Each structure stands twice: as structure tokens, then as C-alpha cells.
Amino acid sequence: MAKASIAKKFTVSAASAAVLGVMSLGAQANDTEVNFGGYVKLDMMVSDYADGETPDSNRIDRQQYIPSLTPVGGEGDDPVVDFHARQSRFFLSSKTELDNGETLTGHIEMDFQLTPQGDQRISNSYNPRMRQAFLKYGKWTFGQTWSNFQDLNILAESVDFIGITDGIVFNRQAQIRYTDGPISVSIEQPETTVTPVGGGRAVSEDGVIPDLVFKYSSKSDNLSWQASAILRQLAWDVDGNNDDETETGYGVSFGAKYTFGMDDIRASITTGSGLGRYLGLNTWNGAYVNTDGDLEAIDSTGVSFAYRHFWSEKLRSNVVYSRGWADNDGEVLALAGDMTEYTQRIAFNMMYSPASNLTFGAEISKANRETEANVDGDLNRLQLMAMYKF
């Protein structure tokens, strides 16, 4: 669901903030504006896993669509129903105009999605998780926020948590970013996922060189677009002898949004070698171990499309489609066994907002995952929602 909020604002003087423990900037700060906002959202889902066993109720794919976890093969199972309010979130942000003419801002945001603690038996209690925590000073951003490689402008309005998951970059992580007008450059948290011999996934902790991202954004009349590129080092201690094997990963992404009247079209394409965790919620790893014991980058590509049409000021619909796929060559398949070839999802929803901060939605979707051995599976889902933004 594309995020939105109506912030509640209040002003704190520098002296009062120091007493309250909000911040202490001494004589260098004027008044500080503090904002609080978020939303409460209820999701109600009926899920039909057509080609495999239904996941346990505490699995993350029972909360939202995860492309790599669609079951394949098998007889299928009976439909299941899930109710949860775990996507509900809140944020706290501040803004201070400094005496040197710069602006200092801070932002922290939390929700309850995808945390392992809790179950559906009695209290449905779930721990909060940090989504974003960053500060901005002048043209610099420090902290955890959306990857500079991601295009937030192409995110579709969806009842599902993301909607166009399969073929887009979706990533939040710690980084240092410099922005000057339409150009931004960042160094970001390195992390490599590897397919070892025999298959599966190994998560490396051996990254030394940060991922490097360049992005250019532009807007002309009704068209806004951005192009980004990433360069990264993939690293893993294959033999366990404290001598890492490395490989270079790279990729490009292009996204655009075109508005006509109240309607809009959003589309994107991302492709590269060694993208791994950046594409489709890490459906594919960044590299595999070849016959020489070296890392070999895995090529992957994703596309997305969304069309939003307003039937009236309060009623609108969205058609969304997304697909991601990888080029798993013969060697990786021979060494690692059957792997996901592609995933895709198509959905249609209706959104009704009787007030600007209240929305009811209904979405029907069909997702498909197929492996290199031509074993596939479908996930059919009806999802309803009610959301109040504050």
C-alpha cells in the first residue's frame, strides 16, 4: 500500500526540547517542529494455494505476498482466511532551522509487519519493527531509509502491502546519501546472498565494500521519471578458510509515472547481474558457487505496470502487473538443482474513500511461480482492507 499520512504538528523551543529530552541543540537552534502520524489498517484475506500445502499461519507469506514463497507442485489445499492489523504504522519526525541556514530533520518509523514474535491463537500480540530511522542535514542523509536504487514514484496503489512486488526494487537499509537537485549518490549496506552447491541460500556476512548507487530524477509536465544504477561487490567465504571469493554485481533501473487528468500510469524495468536481494524481495540470490569454487553473478530482470482510474473523486480502481525472472544457466542448475525461473502477479482492486483520511479497498489477485524444471504453482487471493490515516 503506497504510504500516506496526515501529520499532527506541534512546536518545541530549543530550551523546552532539552528539558523534555527530545533534542538539545544549544544556541544553534531555533524552534523545532515535531510531527506525528501514521495509519491503522485492517487486512482480511482469503487465500487459495492451488498447487501446494498451505503455509503455517505465522509464516510471512500469510501476511503479504512474497513471490519466492508461492508453493509449487502438489495437490493444493483448502482456502484459508487471515485477519490482521500488522501493517498499521506510526512515525515521529522533527524539523529544525539552524542559525547557520541549514535545516536539520530526523525521522523514525515503525510497524508490526513480518516480525517473528506472536501468533493468532489468543492475543495476536506482535513486536514493533523499525522501518526507517534517519537524519538529514543540508544535502546529506544518514541512517536507514529507502535504497537510493529504488523508485518510490512507481509504487502502485494496492491492497496488498506492495502490489507490484515481483519485478521491482524494494529495499530499506542504512546508508549515507548526498543529494544535489535531481542527482543523488549513496553508499549503502553491503550484503550478499549466495546459492551454494546443492541449492538453498547462504547469507554472507563478509561484505567490505559498500554498495554504490547513482540516481537521476526528472519531471516534465505530466511525466516524472528516474534512472538509477548500482555497483556492488559480492563476497563470501566459500571454503571457510577466511579467504573470501568476490564477484562484481551491477544493474540499472528505469521508472516513470504519467498523469492524465486524475488517472495515472506507472511502469518500471530493472535489470542487472548480481542484483540478488534488491529485486523481487530476494527471489533470486546475487551469485552461485561454480565448479571452480568461485562466485558467479546471477542475471535477473523485472518489470512492473500499474494503471489507476478514478470513477469519481471518491472511487477509483487499479490494475497492476509485475514479473521477475532470472537467467539460471546450465551450470548453476547442475550444481544447485531446481531454482525459480520466474514469478508474476496480476491484480485488480477498487478503492473507496468517503473521506480523505479513510479508505476501504477490495482486491483480487493471481500470482504464479515456476521453477526451471517447469514445476509451477498459483496463489489466488481475495483481500479486503479498511485504513484510517492520522
pLDDT, position 29: 56
Give the range of the structural domain holding residue 241, as residue numbers without chain letter: 39-85+160-173+182-389
pLDDT, position 52: 83
- Is 142 within the bounds of a domain? no
Q: Report the predicted TM-score, pTM, of the whole model to 2 decimal places.
A: 0.90
Task: For residue 304, count CB atoms less than 10 angstroms from its CB and return exposed for 0-12, middle for 13-18, buried for 19 or more.
Answer: buried
Q: What is the pLDDT of residues 230-250, one digit of tens each?
A: 999 999 999 888 888 999 999
Query: How many Cα atoms are found within 13 Å in the side-chain-facing hemisphere of 46?
Result: 7
- Is 233 within the bounds of a domain? yes
- Is 295 within the bounds of a domain? yes
**What is the number of domains present in the chain?**
1
From residue 276, alpha-carbon distances to 201, 232, 386 in Å are: 11, 11, 34
Of the chain, the percentage scoring pLDDT greater than 90 comes to 76
Q: What is the pLDDT of residues 194-206, one digit of tens each?
A: 999 988 999 987 8
- Is 372 within the bounds of a domain? yes
- Is 363 within the bounds of a domain? yes
- Is 273 within the bounds of a domain? yes
- Mean pLDDT, the chain, rounded, equals 91
CATH number at residue 208: 2.40.160
Which residue type sits at 349?
Answer: N
Mean pLDDT of 344-359: 98
Mean pLDDT of 279-298: 95
- Determine the Cα angle at 248 with ends 198 and 290, to 5°: 25
- Is 28 within the bounds of a domain? no
- Is 49 within the bounds of a domain? yes
